[in-house]
Amino acid sequence: MGKKDLASVTTDLSALASMMPTQKPVVAAPAAVAQPAPTAALKVVPTPHREEEGVIQFSLSMRKELRKQLARLASDADMTMRAFVLNALKEKGLSVREDDLIDLRKERR
Amino acid sequence: MSIITIATSKGGAGKTTIARLILGRLSQAGLRVATVDADFNHTLTDWVRTASKHAITVEHELDETRIVPLVESLHAAHDVVVIDTAGAATQATIFAIGCADVVLVPCQTSSADIVEAIKTMNLIKSASLMMKRDVTARVILTGYQPNTNISTHIESEIAKAKLPVMETKIHRLVAFQEMSFTGIVPTSGLAGLQCANFLDEIEALGGIPEAAKMAS
């Protein structure tokens, strides 16, 4: 292998470099039309999979004291007990989705 | 005249610290030194302009199409040019490797550092093949903590990956951290000794021109 030649560096390495990201400063093109800001408030919309998969119920029994602790911890986390338990199970690897954590209770009037 | 490129695709591996050590020590020795800072964080540029007490020419350049011509022009007027690259494999990194007489790949004591050091060494090999010339490259261990399990483990991983590594290790020393504020590269104590050994090794690799050393 021969002596280093800076003149040929760009030519020799162009193919390899083209596979890499550039860090050349990007000159932003002027926006043709300003995009209007979204006006509607964000709303969580349950995805169809809930209806498709169906929701089942099952009962869970535990000591009274544990039930109290669960209620307190969920309240501290500003979550329903259901969401609190699902969230904990999510951390253990259960494939819980965001819409699984929605509070399904009817709002009190 | 020589060109030293410091590259690894891992951020925070010690690239800029290594650059400071080389530039500061060679400037102290009376060599004409310049650096191309190709890192978008421009940490080295800021250090040279605000903190450094050494005579160092610095150019901040991110545009890969300008790296080679810039290095060429600095190369003509300086004894050593150091190129500090970004913590990612970019087009600028490739061209900086292509310009180099010696490429230094800093590696701290973490698995991510080793993974990225291996990737960078492979990139250097590819560049070397495409240019049909050998590019001398060495891993330099930084943030090293002697007599710890992690350092022993890292060294065995580097040996397993068959990466060429420098004998000198840059330890996790306060003097190196202070350098970022004081602008003074350590010349005494353990830090000073490590700097001296580090520079000797770079010289042995051909990263410091003999003629320039003689002139100084």
* Span A25-45, pLDDT tens digits: 666 656 565 555 555 555 555
pLDDT confidence bin for A3, thresholds 50/70/90: very low
Each residue's pLDDT tens digit, B187-202: 999 999 999 999 999 9
Question: What is the pLDDT at residue A107?
Answer: 54
User: Closest partner residue to B64 among A6, A12, A23, by Cβ?
Assistant: A23
Mutate to test the interface with B, among A1, A16, A18 (most CBs of B within 10 A): A16
pTM over 0.90: no
Question: What is the pLDDT at residue A23?
Answer: 82
Q: Do A17 and B65 lie within an 8 Å CB cutoff?
A: no
Tell me which residues of chain A have a C-beta less than 8 Å from any C-beta of chain B. 1-4, 6, 8-10, 12-13, 15-18, 20-25
What does each C-alpha distance from B143 to A70, B8, B92 come to in angstroms?
46, 15, 26
Identity of the amino acid at A90? K
Token digits of residue A7? 């003149």
Q: What percentage of residues in chain A have a pLDDT greater than 70? A: 64
Can you say whether the dihedral through the CA atoms of B107, B111, B116, B121 is positive or negative?
A: positive
The reply to whether A31 falls in a domain is no
pLDDT confidence bin for B121, thresholds 50/70/90: very high
Residue among B107, B106, B164 at smallest CA distance from B135: B164
Question: What is the pLDDT at residue B137?
Answer: 97
Question: What is the pLDDT at residue A88?
Answer: 86
Identity of the amino acid at B208? I
Measured between beta carbons, the chain B residues lying within 8 angstroms of A10 are: 65, 68, 95, 98
Name the helix (H) or strand (E) containing A30.
none
> Where do the domains of chain B lie, and which CATH numbers do they carry?
2-205 (3.40.50.300)
Question: What is the pLDDT at residue B166?
Answer: 97
Contact B33, B57 (CB under 8 A): yes
The reply to whether A101 falls in a domain is yes
| Dihedrals phi, psi of A53, to nearest 5 degrees | -85, -25
Question: What is the pLDDT at residue A46?
Answer: 54
Q: Do A17 and B89 lie within an 8 Å CB cutoff?
A: no
ipTM score above 0.85:
no
What's CA B45's distance to the chain center, in Å? 15
Question: What is the pLDDT at residue A102?
Answer: 76
Question: What is the pLDDT at residue A106?
Answer: 59
Q: Do A8 and B131 lie within an 8 Å CB cutoff?
A: yes
Question: What is the pLDDT at residue A1?
Answer: 44
The reply to whether A92 falls in a domain is yes
Question: What is the pLDDT at residue B47?
Answer: 93
Interatomic CA distance for residues B56 and B52, integer angstroms: 8
Average pLDDT of the residues in B34-38: 96
Question: What is the pLDDT at residue B1?
Answer: 81
B158 pLDDT higher than 50: yes
Residue among B19, B17, B24, B54 at smallest CA distance from B36: B19
B49 pLDDT higher than 80: yes
B209 pLDDT higher than 70: yes
List of long-range contacts for A21-25, beta carbons under 8 Å, 24+ apart: A21/B88, A21/B89, A21/B90, A21/B91, A22/B64, A22/B90, A22/B91, A23/B38, A23/B40, A23/B62, A23/B63, A23/B64, A23/B86, A23/B88, A23/B90, A23/B91, A23/B92, A24/B62, A24/B63, A24/B64, A24/B65, A24/B91, A25/B62, A25/B63
Mutate to test the interface with A, among B68, B131, B134, B136 (most CBs of A within 10 A): B131
pLDDT confidence bin for A48, thresholds 50/70/90: low
Orientation of helix B111-131 relative to helix B149-160, angle to 10° = 30
The residue written with tokens 């698995």 in the block is B111
Cross-strand bridge partners of residue B3: B81
| Of A25-29, A72-76, B152-156, B208-212, minimum mean pLDDT range | A25-29
- Domain span including residue A68: 61-109
The reply to whether A7 falls in a domain is no
How many domains in chain A? 1
Measured between beta carbons, the chain B residues lying within 8 angstroms of A27 are: none
Q: Do A23 and B131 lie within an 8 Å CB cutoff?
A: no
The reply to whether A93 falls in a domain is yes
Residue among A74, A98, A69, A99 at smallest CA distance from A85: A74
Mutate to test the interface with B, among A4, A19, A27 (most CBs of B within 10 A): A4
Please provide the average confidence, as pLDDT, over all residues in chain B. 92
Cross-strand bridge partners of residue B85: B38
pLDDT confidence bin for A55, thresholds 50/70/90: confident
Average pLDDT of the residues in B9-37: 94
The reply to whether A34 falls in a domain is no
Q: What percentage of residues in chain B have a pLDDT greater than 90? A: 86
pLDDT confidence bin for B216, thresholds 50/70/90: very low
The reply to whether A28 falls in a domain is no
pLDDT confidence bin for A2, thresholds 50/70/90: very low
